[in-house]
Structure formats: C-alpha cells, structure tokens
Amino acid sequence: MRIVARRLGLYLLTAWVAVTANFILPRLMPGNPVQTLIGKITSQVTPAEIRAIRLSFGMGFKQGIIAQYFTYLGQLFHGNLGVSITLGSPVSSILRESVPWTIGLIGISTIISFALGTLAGALLGWTRGSRFDSMIPTATFFQAVPYFFLGTVMLLVFGSNLHWFPVLGAYSQSATPGWNWTFIASVLRYGELPVISIVLSSVAGWMLGMRNMMITMIGEDFVLMAVAKGLPRRKVIAHAARNAVLPSIANLSLAIGLVVSGALLVELVFNYPGVGDLLLQAVLNEDYPLIQGIFLVITLTVLAANLIADVVYLVLDPRTRSEAAV
Amino acid sequence: MSATIPREHEPTEVVDVATSAVATGVARHEPVLEIEGFSVDYGAGASMVRAVDEVTLRLDRSRVLGIAGESGSGKSTLVYAMTRLLRAPGLISGGRVLLHTTDDDGVVTPVNLVEASESELRKVRWSHVSIVLQSALSALNPVLRIGREFDEVLKTHRKDMTKAQRRARAVELLRLVGLTEDRLDRYPHELSGGQRQRVMIAVALALDPELVIMDEPTTALDVVTQREIISELATLRARFGFAMIFITHDLSLLVELADEIAVMYAGSIVERAGARELYEAPRHPYTLGLLHSFPPLHGERRELTGIPGSPPDLADPPAGCRFAPRCTFAMARCLTERPTLREFGDEGRSVACWLFDPASASRVPVELSLAPSARQTVGEP
C-alpha cells in the first residue's frame, strides 16, 4: 500500500506540471482568441464591441500572470474550462458530449484487440513453427496498410456496396438519444464496422508481442518444470503465458492512455462524434479554450491509465513490489 | 557390451512384497531404471551431432547413481532425454528406457519412457520420477507463491486431497528440508538460493517418487550450503528410500552421496564403478584427470593438474577413442579403434579403455592400477 501511495504522490506532481504547462503554452502563442474572433468578423468592429467580446471570454479584467494562474487553477477545480469560441458553449459540456463516444469506441476496440491478439499470440507462441504461423503475415498486412485506406475501403465495400453495416455517424437518425433500447442497439450496430476495422488494424501488434514473449518463456526452466511435473498441457501453457503477458499489460496501459486522444482517422472516416474530430475542428478554428480543455483531458487520462497500469503490474508481478520501493 | 552390474540374485519376476519405498533393505536389488543402448542426436543429416551414444545403465531401488563429466559430456542430455523432457532439436535416436513404477498396491509395472504417449508420461512424471534443476530461481515460476508449487503438483496427481490436506502436506514437506511454514506465502525472489533449492527438493519429494533426478542441484550454491544440502539429501534418501541420479562435474561431492558413479565423456560412459572404488582407484585415464581437477574435501592437499586440451567436437569425433587426443597413456590402437565399455576384473566395475583389454599386451600404468583404500585422500564415506 505504501508503494501505491508513493506512486499516487508522483502522479499528482506530474498532473500539476501538466496543468501548469497547459496554462503557460497558450500564453506563449502569438495572438489571442479575441483577435481571432475579430478577424473573422467582416464588418466594422467598435471598441465597445471588442470590450464586450473580451468580457464574454472572461478577459475583461487586467490581472497579473500569477493572479491569472490562480484564477485558472480555481476554475479548473470547479470543472470550469472556459467557453469555446467557435461553438459558444462551455468547454466542459462539449467534452462531456464527445468523450464518452471516443472512450466507448476506441476503448472497446482496444480491449477486444488486446484480448484477441494476446490469446492468439500465446497459442502461436506455443505452437511455433506450425501452420498457424501463416496468421502472422496476414495480421501484419492489415496493420501495415494505412488505416485511412483500410477504413475507407471497408466502409465502401461492406457499408456502401454490400450494405452489411450502417454507415456514417454513431447511431441511426431515427433513434432518440438516451437510455432506451432502440438507441443502444443502434449505437452498437453503428459501432460494429469501426470496431472491426480498428481491431483488424491493431491486432498484429498484440499478437506478435505476445508470441515473442511466449517463445522466450517456453525456454525458461519453470516451464520445463511444469512439464516435468506432469501438469496438463493447458496448465503448462498458463505457466508460460502468465509471465509472457506482463509486457503486454504495460503496453495496454499506454494504449488506453491514448484512447481519449481518439483515433482521429477512425472518427473522420466513420464520421464519428468523438474527441479526435473535435480536436481537429478546434485546431482549425484556433479555438484555444477548447484545445486547452481537450489537452487537459488527454493528459489526465494518460496519467490515470498509467497509474492503473502501475497498480495492475504490482498485483501481477511480485518482483516489482520490492523494486518499486527503491 | 553391457554396463549392468551383475548382482548375486537378479530378480526374475516382479515381487509384490516389500515394494513400499521405505523398505529399502529388501527391495535393494530390484531395478528402478534400466537404460539400454540409448542414443540422443541433436539435429539431423550432415549437421547431426550424437550427444549421447549407446548408453546402457541400470539403477536399483534406493540406490544413488552419480553421473560425472565435464560440460558438454552429455550427462544432462541423457537424463532429460530419458525422461522425455529434451527439447527440439534434441531427438532420441534409439534405445529403451524402462522405469519400473510401483503403484499404491505395490504392483510394479515397467514403463518404456521412450515409447510412452503424452498421457502415459503425465502419469509417470513427478509421481514416479521427479527432477531438481541447477538453478532453483529459474525453476520456480517467479510470479507464483511457493505454496502454489506444492499445491499444483498435489492437485494434479492426488485429486482426492482437499485444499487443507494439500496445505498440510506442503508444510510437512517444507519441515523435511528445514524450512518453516511461512515460506509458503513467499515468492521465489524473496528466498535465498539455499532456501529455493530446498523448496525444489521438497517439491520433488511431494509425491513419494521412486526416482529423483538431481541436475547439478548444488552447483549454484556456496560451499557451506552445498554441504548442508548434500547431507540433508543423504538423510532424506535413507528415510524415504528413493533412488537418485545425481549429476555433477564435482567427483569429490559424489563420493559422499553416491553408491555408484558413472563417468561420461563425449556422450558415452567411460567408466562405471562403486563410488568409493572409483574415487580411490580410478581406472580410466579421464576419471583420473577429473579427480585431479578438484581439490579433495578431506585429507592432504595435492596438486591440481586438470586435463590438457578440450572435449572433442561431437559433430566430427575422433576415429578411435574419443579421449585419445587428450590422453597421456594413448597407444597407437587408441587412435584408430574405439573401446567399448566392458566389465573389468573384480567388483563388477566397467571401463572403456584399451589399457584394460585382456588381449592387449600393454602394461597398465601405475596411476590406474591402485587398489581401493590405498590412498589417504578419502574421508569417511
């Protein structure tokens, strides 16, 4: 428990650094949101109007940089991330709408891909040199094809031409968003093709990683001992796999950390209302509060994912418990 | 050719009494393991290497056979292959390995391990033959508690045992090797090297096997721990009466523990004799060289000379005796003809060397014709 507390402290420090960087960086950039907005207005702008815009962005008061920083921290604790310039609504509520979509789509795909790839990798490692090895180049092919191309082709072939899957968007226009069965079913149905495409393009990495670790583990003495003990094959494989999966768990934590940043290409191809799409719009429109808000959420998720991975690793590998205290 | 030691009364049929592992006195001359013409190859075709060449061995119940030889002599390959644990590219190319397994009712069934199926092997493994490896750290699964090592074995082979019974048995086994119950909840990395090796020995005894194979179990340990474990093994063997194959390159260690010693060189057995006879009065020049490579545990200090040269390349072995290029007593015949292991003179010992060929007119060098107990270098056996 002491180790977990120590880790937690370290993560809090990292989070603070990230939040501070998030405050400083936009202030180092040339221009400001007000100028951006004024630049977009084609008619004459009066000084009174400029003042009004400044006020609406909470920039009406002359504050020192230190005071601004503390105001920023205070607002952050209340979940106030400012107002989006282009969309005109609070950043926090915009994020609340798009983050769940991304977590749902990319998160589920990542977990399916991890589970499938790790399982296949364990079996491929055990039966190395057999005909199952031909799965590897196939899987690697799908990972090597640029996702944009793979996604578009799948969308065209299975969506537009064969009509096996619905296309465009996250749910049917006829369904009313909310916790009703029609809507959930529609979300699942619309999610199928994106999920399949993501799994197809990412499963090779998990598979190869696990397979190689399995082959390394099979050479270990404790696997030989498991055979010598007369354990059933299933248990012998479990001995090897239990150790082989550790590096994959570390990679999974990194992958989960990146879930929120979204797969921009996936969301573009399938017109999915997630964070990736939002970030692209925000950057194109120089919508600083929104960019800042998205970055903050991404940073905090990466940190949270790493913390979870650390704890899981401590549970799975007893050796890290003593090393972690150093 | 046969390395089988002739006994006063060879058992002609299966005896159904006194087969309990503890009754060591009666069951002494029943074989537990018979290896005949056993060969192991690595690879195939032109790159083929014969690592074990037509080895014939016999081990009686409750006896300890030491197998000595330098690295690459095939001693480990022999035991891994005969228990069918050898990994690719190792391949058994001939011979027979009979393990005489005794079931709970005392009925002895010979199992030919070379031809046994996977499921037959699973039944024999650990219940009848268990193994202790050199490095206990890598032989224990690093992410599992010590208790799991015991639990797993008992759960697989003693299906009627409850969880509490398995735990009790594990505690009992740990006590046997001088460890306390709290070790069960530890992980391998939290134990010292000696403790880990004791755990391995305790796990190996979990199912009361007839045969325990020890592959250099003390090589990775310091000398003090080494001594402790050797004497514990001797006690445990006397108490439970399992037979043991003990592999090492340290002959002076073997003489303390083993009843008989087989010396391997380049894939074949070159000499086999009672432990004390072999230690005090070696017959094969290689055995002599091996004895001169280790300081004796007791007695006067003598010069360590070692053996000049290095073991032969098994992919291209010498035409005659494989030891001839390094042998100080080599004759013309040794370079062309290969000696086979044959029984030699008294005490049922055998040696593969032309010096001891009755037809040969050669004189046996004085170093190789000592009588047992003629030297002062031996302590209490």
Q: Which of A230, A243, A318 sits opposite B157 (nearest CB)?
A: A230
Boundary (domain end) residue, out of B188, B208, B228: B208
Provide mean pLDDT across the span A119-123.
Answer: 92
Residue B244 confidence (pLDDT): 94
A97-287: CATH topology = MetI-like fold (1.10.3720)
Q: Render pLDDT for B78-132 as a digit per residue (tens, 0 to 9).
A: 999 999 998 878 889 888 999 998 888 888 888 899 999 989 999 999 999 999 9
Residue B194 DSSP SS3? helix
Residue B314 confidence (pLDDT): 82
Instruction: Decide if pLDDT at B378 tops 50.
Output: no
Instruction: Decide if pLDDT at B70 tops 60.
Output: yes
**Is B156 close to A224, i.e. CB distance below 8 A?**
no
- Interface mutation vs chain A, best among B128, B143, B197, most A CBs within 10 Å: B143
Total H helices, total E strands in chain B: 11, 12
Instruction: Decide if pLDDT at A117 tops 90.
Output: yes
Residue B8 confidence (pLDDT): 43
Q: Render pLDDT for A15-45 as a digit per residue (tens, 0 to 9).
A: 899 888 888 877 777 666 677 677 777 677 7
Question: Which structure tokens are listed for A208?
Answer: 């190869």
User: How far does A229 lie from chain B, in Å, by closest CA?
Assistant: 5
Contact A294, A275 (CB under 8 A): yes
Q: Render pLDDT for B324-374 as a digit per residue (tens, 0 to 9).
A: 888 888 888 888 888 888 887 666 788 888 888 777 666 777 778 777 765
Question: How many separate domains does chain B show?
Answer: 2
Contact B199, B146 (CB under 8 A): yes
Residue A76 confidence (pLDDT): 83
Provide mean pLDDT across the span B257-283.
Answer: 90
- Interface mutation vs chain B, best among A229, A237, A322, most B CBs within 10 Å: A229
**Is B140 close to A222, i.e. CB distance below 8 A?**
yes
Beta-carbon neighbour count of residue B130 at 10 Å? Answer: 28
Provide mean pLDDT across the span B27-42.
Answer: 85
Residue B16 confidence (pLDDT): 40
Boundary (domain end) residue, out of B208, B232, B262: B208
Would the pTM count as exceeding 0.80?
no
Residue A62: band (very low, low, confident or very high) from pLDDT cuts 50, 70, 90: low
Provide mean pLDDT across the span B191-200.
Answer: 91
Instruction: Decide if pLDDT at B204 tops 90.
Output: yes
Beta-carbon neighbour count of residue A80 at 10 Å? Answer: 15
Chain A residues whose CB is inside 8 A of the B83 CB are 228
Chain B residues whose CB is inside 8 A of the A230 CB are 121-127, 156-157
Domain with B187 in it: 135-208
Q: Render pLDDT for A278-297 as a digit per residue (tens, 0 to 9).
A: 888 888 877 778 888 888 88
Q: Render pLDDT for A207-246 as a digit per residue (tens, 0 to 9).
A: 999 999 999 998 889 999 999 999 999 999 999 999 999 8
- Interface mutation vs chain B, best among A126, A217, A222, A316, most B CBs within 10 Å: A222
User: How far does B138 lie from chain A, in Å, by closest CA?
Assistant: 5
Residue B347 confidence (pLDDT): 66
User: How much is the mean pLDDT over chain B?
Assistant: 83
More confident residue, A56 or B96: B96
Residue B361 confidence (pLDDT): 63
Domain assignment present for B362: yes
Q: What percent of chain A has pLDDT over 70?
A: 91
Provide mean pLDDT across the span A117-132.
Answer: 88
Q: Which residues contact B159 (CB under 8 A, 6 or more apart)?
A: none
In what side-by-side order are the strands of the sheet with B49-60? B49-60, B31-42, B90-102, B108-112
**Is B140 close to A319, i.e. CB distance below 8 A?**
no
Domain assignment present for B111: no
User: How far does A119 lie from chain B, in Å, by closest CA?
Assistant: 19
Domain assignment present for B173: yes
Angle of helix A108-126 relative to helix A233-257, nearest 10 degrees, comes to 150
**Is B189 close to A318, i.e. CB distance below 8 A?**
yes
Integer Cα distance of B352 and B12 in angstroms: 28
Instruction: Decide if pLDDT at A119 tops 90.
Output: yes
Residue B128 confidence (pLDDT): 93
Domain assignment present for B345: yes
CA distances from A318 to A122, A149, A312 (A): 22, 44, 11
Contact A209, A246 (CB under 8 A): no
Q: Render pLDDT for A46-55 as a digit per residue (tens, 0 to 9).
A: 777 777 777 7
Chain A residues whose CB is inside 8 A of the B125 CB are 227-230
**Any A CB within 8 A of B155 CB:** no
Instruction: Decide if pLDDT at B201 tops 60.
Output: yes
Domain assignment present for B61: no
